């Protein structure tokens, strides 16, 4: 099993994200507003943009009906810095427009102040 | 993956100017109108911005906050050196188009001249990979011709840029612009500005407008075709920039079939429209629809040629296409054509060793 400390919990405020490395892999560590940590590959599955340059925000969801917006998931959506595709952090990094596709993710655990990625 | 070099002529790169950069190149009273009378170009798209940093790649905004595309050094680092461009064609973000100037063509013409001087001095003369586009306020025909005469002979100017906006450029009144371009070995590049795509209006959503931009490109090709521009100026080529390319077979078939029925109305066409397109019209690839290799190959077969497509990134805009990821895998010869040779064969002023 491979594991590695990628940052301190205090490095990321809830609702924010940062890039780090896990071995040779560029990774993206996200902290959702509820304080939880998640980690993904820091490369968009569409054309490879660096996701840390995008934003964490909410989204109008699939519950919207024509002319009626349902907005939620505040701080739980990664929006890519290039073409703006949206990925749901809390739903395994799945793309909102095509949930069959997801950003590869890493397991995370917290030990004291340390954010640890492991495989 | 990203470091694997490929031969590349990038046919659509948007360098960006801020008014403050060109003030010293602007004639009076136009400098006065910007500096002291607070003129700013009024452009408004009634939509949310398409992406995280507006219409730009969020990672292309400069670290000091200046707008994406405004610094050559940063562009070299992020694009030209990183990808390994052989050549790049600058297409700018200045917009002296009719609709965005609201009729003030005197200011449009002055801005275009100042812009051309700035482009030559700060980009074309500095990075040998970069080639440029002559900006004109084409709504003022005489001023446009004068500007082509003034800078058209610059060795690195390869085309005259016309907006896809609210003028149909096949209209004979504008043909002298094509004559001037042809005289200086310049092609015509057409890039959309804010073209009407919905019965002359904006549709309700950005996604509708952006989806339908190719229809505005089709209208311009059709206008140029049947007004005889390509027959009248056989050395002129038209590069359609940023409208995509999957509509090409449809337009060829449609125009050929219409021509067979309706030739009597446009008897000056001596070649089939599809033949004229193959010989004189080219298309930049971005924004590429996501095609499988099979779909892409079949599309090229339907076009009847693999010489019409020229790869483009549209850097630094939000819908940038990565040279490594946007098109399906293809064999080396085809890649060489689409990523480099087709553009070299199209622009007479682009160096071409073959
Ligand atoms: S690279 Fe991320 S949406 Fe295209």
Segment A75-115, tens digit of pLDDT = 999 999 999 999 999 999 999 999 999 999 999 999 999 99
State the pLDDT at residue B44.
78
d(CA B100, CA B44): 9
Chain A touched by B352 (CB under 8 Å): no
Mention every residue, 6+ apart, whose C-beta is less than 8 A from residue B262. none
What is the domain count for chain B?
A: 1
Q: What is the CATH number of the domain that holds B217?
A: 3.20.20.140
State the pLDDT at residue B3.
45
d(CA B200, CA B196): 5
DSSP letters spanning B263-298:
GGG-TT--S-HHHHHHHHEEEE--S-----HHHHHH
State the pLDDT at residue B96.
80
Closest CB from A46, A48, A54 relative to B58 = A54
pTM here? 0.93
Q: Could you say which DSSP state residue A31 is in?
A: E
Chain B residues with CB-CB distance to A54 below 8 A: 52, 58
Q: Confidence band (pLDDT; 50, 70, 90) for B94? A: confident
Q: Confidence band (pLDDT; 50, 70, 90) for B5? A: low
Give a yes or no: residue B273 inside a domain. Answer: yes
Say how many Å lie between the CA of residue B153 and the centre of ligand 1.
40
Chain B residues with CB-CB distance to A80 below 8 A: 51-52
Q: Where are the domains of chain A?
A: 3-118
Give a yes or no: residue B250 inside a domain. Answer: yes
Measured CA to CA in angstroms, residue B354 lies from B7, B10, B213, B310, B342 at distances of 14, 18, 35, 17, 12
On average, the pLDDT of chain A sits at 96
- B57 with A82: Cβ contact below 8 A: yes
pLDDT at residue B354 above 80?
no
Give a yes or no: residue B197 inside a domain. Answer: yes
What average pLDDT score do residues B78-93 get?
95
pLDDT at residue B100 above 60?
yes
Q: Which of B306, B312, B315 is nearest to B339 (CA)?
A: B312
> Closest approach of chain A CAs to the CA of B266, in angstroms?
42
Q: Which atom, in ligand 1's list, is nearest to the CA of A47? A: 1
Chain A touched by B325 (CB under 8 Å): yes
Lowest-pLDDT choice from A18-22, B71-75, B349-353: B349-353
Segment B254-313, tens digit of pLDDT = 999 999 999 999 999 999 999 999 999 999 999 999 999 999 999 999 999 999 999 999
Q: Which of A100, A46, A83 is nearest to B57 (CA)?
A: A83
Tokens for B203? 């549709």
Closest CB from B59, B321, B324 relative to A53 = B59
So what's the ipTM on this one?
0.84
Chain A residues with CB-CB distance to B318 below 8 A: 82-84
Homologous superfamily, domain A3-118 = Rieske [2Fe-2S] iron-sulphur domain (2.102.10.10)
Minimum CA–CA partner of B320 in chain A: A82
Closest CB from A47, A54, A84 relative to B50 = A84
Minimum CA–CA partner of B287 in chain A: A83
State the pLDDT at residue B223.
98
Q: Bridge partners of B53?
A: B56
Domain range for B218: 11-346
pLDDT at residue B220 above 80?
yes
Q: Which residues form ligand 1's pocket by a CB distance below 6 Å?
A: A 44, 46-49, 80, 82-83, 85
3-state secondary structure B139-199: CCHHHHHHHHHHHCCCCCEEEEEEEECCCCCCCHHHHHHHHHHHHCCCEEEEEECCCCCEC
Please tell me the residue having the least CA distance from ligand 1 atom 1.
A47
DSSP letters spanning B87-139:
EEEE--S----HHHHTT-HHHHHHHHHHHHHHHIIIIITT-TTEEEEEE--TT
Chain A touched by B2 (CB under 8 Å): yes
Q: Which atom, in ligand 1's list, is nearest to the CA of A81? A: 2
Chain A residues with CB-CB distance to B59 below 8 A: 49-50, 53, 81-82
- B57 with A48: Cβ contact below 8 A: no
Which of A82, A86, A102, A104 is the best mutation target for the ligand 1 pocket, counting ligand atoms within 8 Å of the beta carbon and taking the most?
Answer: A82
Segment B109-152, tens digit of pLDDT = 999 999 999 999 999 999 999 999 999 999 999 999 999 999 99
pLDDT at residue B194 above 90?
no
Give a yes or no: residue B146 inside a domain. Answer: yes
Minimum CA–CA partner of A50 in chain B: B59
């Amino acid at each position: 099993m491979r594991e590695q400390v990628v940052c301190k919990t205090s490095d990321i405020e809830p609702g924010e994200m940062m890039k780090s490395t896990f071995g040779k892999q560029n990774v993206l560590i996200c902290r959702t507003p509820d304080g939880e940590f998640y980690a993904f590959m820091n490369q968009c599955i569409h054309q490879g943009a660096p996701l840390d340059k995008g934003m964490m925000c909410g989204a109008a969801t699939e519950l919207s009906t024509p002319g009626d917006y349902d907005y939620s998931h505040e701080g739980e959506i990664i929006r890519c810095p290039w073409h703006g595709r949206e990925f749901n952090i809390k739903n395994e990094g799945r793309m909102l427009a095509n949930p069959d596709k997801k950003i590869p993710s890493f397991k995370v655990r917290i030990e004291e102040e340390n954010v640890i990625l492991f495989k | 993956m990203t470091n694997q070099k490929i031969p590349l002529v990038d046919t659509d790169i948007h360098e960006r100017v801020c008014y403050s950069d060109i003030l010293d190149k602007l004639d009076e009273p136009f400098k006065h109108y910007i500096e002291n009378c607070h003129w700013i170009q009024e452009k408004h798209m009634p939509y949310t911005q398409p992406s995280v940093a507006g219409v730009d790649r969020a990672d292309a905004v400069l670290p000091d906050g200046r707008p994406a595309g405004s610094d050559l050094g940063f562009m070299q680092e992020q694009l030209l050196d990183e990808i390994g461009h052989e050549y790049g064609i600058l297409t700018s973000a200045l917009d002296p188009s009719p609709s965005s100037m609201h009729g003030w063509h005197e200011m449009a013409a002055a801005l275009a001249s100042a812009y051309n001087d700035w482009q030559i001095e700060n980009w074309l003369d500095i990075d040998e990979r970069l080639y440029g586009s002559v900006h004109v306020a084409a709504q003022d025909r005489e001023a446009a011709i004068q500007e082509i005469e003034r800078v058209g002979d610059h060795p690195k100017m390869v085309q005259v840029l016309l907006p896809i906006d609210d003028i149909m450029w096949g209209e004979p009144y504008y043909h002298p612009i094509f004559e001037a371009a042809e005289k200086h070995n310049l092609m015509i590049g057409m890039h959309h500005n804010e073209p009407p795509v919905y019965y002359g209006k904006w549709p309700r959503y950005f996604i509708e407008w952006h989806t339908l931009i190719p229809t505005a490109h089709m209208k311009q090709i059709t206008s140029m075709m049947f007004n005889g521009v390509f027959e009248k100026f056989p050395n002129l080529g038209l590069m359609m920039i940023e409208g995509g390319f999957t509509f090409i077979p449809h337009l060829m078939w449609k125009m050929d079939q219409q021509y067979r029925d309706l030739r009597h109305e446009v008897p000056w066409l001596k070649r089939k429209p599809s033949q004229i397109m193959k010989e004189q019209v080219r298309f930049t690839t971005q924004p590429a629809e996501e095609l499988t290799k099979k779909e892409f190959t079949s599309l090229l077969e339907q076009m009847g040629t693999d010489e019409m497509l020229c790869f483009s990134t549209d850097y630094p805009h939000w819908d940038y296409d990565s040279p490594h990821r946007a098109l399906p895998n293809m064999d080396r010869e085809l890649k060489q054509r689409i990523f480099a040779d087709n553009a070299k064969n199209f622009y007479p002023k682009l160096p071409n060793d073959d």
